[in-house]
A = this chain, B = another copy of it.
């Protein structure tokens, strides 16, 4: 697996011709390749050799940087969580009115899962193992999302404004918002097959998003008729 030297960093110091040896870059390449491999085949189906080839690295390097296959898997999981947490952090939901904020969250959740199918696959796999890697990880537990706390605030504001039902629970709501997007995208292959209908088309997707928005808002808003499905309320 000889690396193509033309693709490597060619940042010359002062005189030297050198290139080579960039530990961070090597590590990052391995992590990227591992993410793709674990997402495509799961932990058990993933092949260490294949990761090494895809990362354009010697297999020994995976062990040098990550220890073993399962530790590499955990590193991949941590990376995936770090990215979604970063994206969540950029949502400024509290700057929006309660109903628009919820709509925005639904939209964000859908867009994120759609753009990051590897997140779904990795999570499914980790759940197959009853989250045993995640449970070990202090890093992931430290990365708690602002979303639940924010959503609690949003629900409270909606209550105070008299537009949300008093019974709304932020955690349940969050899980449901995630569920509606996640299940559709995670199971799109079997659903399309079993229903003999292609759910991957743009029109099927648009329909899905509209349906989810309607469902979430209907469960929250006191008078559904105040929130037409097409309009984005303030």
Chain A residues in the interface with B (C-beta under 8 A) = 41-45, 121, 123-131, 134-135, 140-141, 144-145, 148, 165, 167, 169, 171-173, 175-176, 178-180, 182-184, 186-197, 207-208, 211-212, 214-216, 218-219, 222, 224, 229
Contacts and interface: CB of A to CB of B under 8 A. Distances in A.
A176 B211 contact: yes
B207 A124 contact: no
Given A45-B45, A195-B171, A176 B131 contact: no
Chain A residues touching B, majority SS: helix
B183 A148 contact: no
B131 A189 contact: yes
A131 B188 CA distance: 9
A47 to B, nearest CB: 10
A165 B210 CA distance: 14
